[in-house]
Amino acid sequence: MIDSSIIDQIINKDNDAFKMMYQKCIRYVYSLVKRYVKNESDHQDVIQEIFARVFLSIKSFDTEKGDFKFWLRRLAINQCLQLYRQGKSPKQFVPIENANEIESGVVHALDELTKIDIQNNLSKMPEGYRQIFMLVVIDEYSHKEVGKLLNITAETSRSQLSRAKQWLQKKITKIDKQKISFHGI
Amino acid sequence: MESNFDKIKKVMSENTDNQLPPELNWDNMESGILEKMSELQAVQTQDSSGKNRKLLIFSLTLLALILILNGIYFGKKLDVLAQNENLSIEQANEGFKIISINEKEEQLKENSYKNDSVFQIAPLAEINYFGNRFETNTHQTNSRPFSNDLQKKDLLKPKANISLLTKRKKKRTNESSSSAPNEKSINSFPSFELRTGENLSFLPSINFSVANQPKQDNVPIPPLSIWNNSTNSYRLSLLGGVSFWNNGYGNTKPQRDEFESNKLSYHAGLNYIHTSKNGFSFMIGIQYQQMESRFDWTGIIPDYQLTLTDTILEISTDAFTGEQTEIRGDVNLSVYAERKIRHFNRTRIFQIPFAVGKAWISKSEKLQLDVLVGGSFNIMSNNAGRTFYQGGIQNYNSSSNNFLSKKMKFNTLLGGRLTYYLNSNLGIMTGFQFQKSISNWSIEQDIKVRPSWVNLSLGLAYYIDKK
């Protein structure tokens, strides 16, 4: 993603190198931010914060030990979750008791799910589930790491993921039922 | 199901072909990033200054401890010196008495100067200088023979300053102790010469003179005197009681604080206190501290699903026979519900408190007051409970340890104890202790937890030994 020479230049406070890095990474960072921060008005602010932190802490990145993309992803996700820790992002976590009552909007057959449909469905997932689902399933964090990031236990992370999966399962079941009833008619 | 997630993962991971909004172009972002950088640097500077402040408090505490320990050490050393000096000065005084009397008699014979005033002896200044460490009798035996026997106003003026006097006295002590004083050796003693008619106030030793003190016998005795200088004590004390505590969130209160209230808590401890001859104490022990809080939460569930099983759904009446038939079944109801949760949370801590201080004991040796300053280390801690976190109810326990770090923490300590001795070994004790954590207990980012607590204790004190 980024050459070690560019990283060295950034460490030496070369603005052109930083600009080059920004242009190479912004799409990836934006996709991460979109996944974790629902509120679009926060996107610009969070991305600025992420790149400011990249610039200030890039010295700590060891090119021999890890991949820059991986390092950047960690930093970006951590910054996105920071919003929730600070309470800036609205709490959309649905208590366990109510979780089953969430109505989904448009229901599609699983085979016909497009990227946008998946995004839409995930965006409708309760916040508490969604964050953990994203972190564990998509970004491959361990439950222990999720626990540290969200200040919850690994057990809580596991149970939340399990409920998130159940939530999705229900969606898929509904889809199947609809398909059956449609074909039955 | 897993394959479904794999599909979702694949779709989401590849999701990097977003169209960038124009506000995310470098030109629009550059100034914002620079601004964020300067903000972050300022925060980092504040953090480092906060760390420096912690370091400063720790250093000052350490310095205070060192100074107090130093005081104890030098206090002991002075005590030993004073005991040595006591011997030599007592011996030296005997020499002075003889010299002075002899010289006085000679002088009196020569001058035949008569006056009714009390005879004043400047060299006694040395005795008085250490006087607090001696029995009052020492002064009386040294001063009274002159006043009773002579009843003359004669002034004794030292030729040398006080420090030299001490040396000379020692020299004289050697002479006088080796053999009985004789006239020759006494007359050759060069320290003093008698002069009459000089004002005592001009004498350099006047500030230390016994004669300057109005009445040696009427020195007021404070209700609590300094620790008896002949006693070293070793005490064990067992104490326990109630604690009032505060989370110490400062300006970083988390949302869960709205639902939690601190409750009366408990503590228990076992301490060992060594009190030296000069009243300085050193305390070390082990202490258990339990902080209690109550979590009260009420949540509204506007459409709580309730299933009524085997409920009468309908009653049908036969028009001809009038017989009624019940139709039963399960009913799903959506009701407005209120969920209330009350849970008692607790944080348990094992500490090693340590402190130095000062002890005072009453004249009757029944009451003892200790004042202690020091610190404590939390060596073990765990917390367990239930709280509201990130929009939901969350349980936590010692293994999960959600909010508080298990690392060793340092707290400052200030305490006081009052002990009433039932006999020479056993006493009952009341105590006060204030502790404030210097370390941050929280593992949550942006949240500081530096609790403070006040302990009120009752306990028993047991003297292991008195030396």
Count of structural domains, chain A: 2
Disruptive mutation site among A83, A97, A159 for chain B (greatest number of B CBs within 10 Å): A97
The answer to whether residue B87 scores a pLDDT higher than 60 is no
Banded pLDDT at B300 (limits 50, 70, 90): confident
The answer to whether residue B440 scores a pLDDT higher than 50 is yes
Inform me whether the C-beta atom of residue B1 falls under 8 Å from chain A C-beta atoms. Answer: yes
Question: Closest by alpha carbon to B304, among A134, A100, A74, A122?
Answer: A100
Q: How confident is the model at residue B180, as a pLDDT? A: 42
The CA distance from B308 to B328, in Å, is: 10
Residues A85 and A119 occupy one common structural domain: no
Q: How confident is the model at residue B366, as a pLDDT? A: 86
Q: How confident is the model at residue B456, as a pLDDT? A: 96
Give the closest-approach CA distance of B414 to chain A in angstroms: 34
Q: How confident is the model at residue B452, as a pLDDT? A: 95
Residues A16 and A63 occupy one common structural domain: yes
Question: Closest by alpha carbon to B191, among B225, B214, B161?
Answer: B161
Inform me whether the C-beta atom of residue A84 falls under 8 Å from chain B C-beta atoms. Answer: yes
Banded pLDDT at B230 (limits 50, 70, 90): low
Computed over every residue of chain A, the mean pLDDT equals 74
Which residue did the predictor score with more confidence, B459 or A138?
B459
The arithmetic mean of pLDDT across residues B176-203, rounded, is 42
State pLDDT tens for residues A106-146: 334 445 566 676 777 777 788 778 888 888 888 888 888 88
Q: Which of B36, B299, B444 sits opposite A48 (nearest CB)?
A: B36
Residues A77 and A155 occupy one common structural domain: no
Residues A78 and A109 occupy one common structural domain: no
Residues A127 and A164 occupy one common structural domain: yes
Inform me whether the C-beta atom of residue A42 falls under 8 Å from chain B C-beta atoms. Answer: no
Above pLDDT 70, what percent of chain A? 72
Q: Look at the domain B225-298+342-466 and name its fold.
A: Porin (2.40.160)
Q: How confident is the model at residue B69, as a pLDDT? A: 67
State pLDDT tens for residues A78-99: 888 877 766 654 444 444 444 3
Q: How confident is the model at residue A15, as a pLDDT? A: 84
Residues A96 and A85 occupy one common structural domain: no
Above pLDDT 90, what percent of chain B? 24
The CATH number that applies at residue A55 is 1.10.1740.10
Residues A68 and A151 occupy one common structural domain: no
Residues A32 and A51 occupy one common structural domain: yes
The CA distance from B34 to B371, in Å, is: 54
Domain locations in chain B?
Answer: 74-220, 225-298+342-466
Give the closest-approach CA distance of B369 to chain A in angstroms: 46
Tell me if A56 and B35 make a contact (CB, 8 A cut-off).
Answer: no
Residues A158 and A85 occupy one common structural domain: no
- Max mean pLDDT range (A25-29, A112-116, A152-156): A25-29
State pLDDT tens for residues B243-298: 999 988 888 888 888 889 999 999 999 999 998 888 899 999 999 999 999 999 88
Helix axes B162-178, B26-111, angle to 10 degrees: 50
The arithmetic mean of pLDDT across residues B78-91, rounded, is 50
Q: How confident is the model at residue A71, as a pLDDT? A: 85
Chain B: residue nearest A119 by CA?
B12
Residues A124 and A57 occupy one common structural domain: no
The answer to whether residue A74 scores a pLDDT higher than 70 is yes
Q: How confident is the model at residue A55, as a pLDDT? A: 86
Q: How confident is the model at residue A139, as a pLDDT? A: 83
Which of A34, A59, A89 represents a domain boundary (last residue)? A89
Domain coverage including residue A105: 91-185
The CATH number that applies at residue A118 is 1.10.10.10
Which residue did the predictor score with more confidence, B429 or B303?
B429
Which chain B residues are Cβ-neighbours of A26 within 8 angstroms?
A: 20, 24
**Dihedral in degrees, nearest 10, Cα atoms B41, B43, B49, B50:** -150
The answer to whether B65 and B71 have CB atoms below 8 angstroms apart is: no
Residues A47 and A115 occupy one common structural domain: no
Q: How confident is the model at residue B270, as a pLDDT? A: 95
Which of A39, A72, A89 represents a domain boundary (last residue)? A89
**Does ipTM come in above 0.85?**
no
Residues A98 and A79 occupy one common structural domain: no
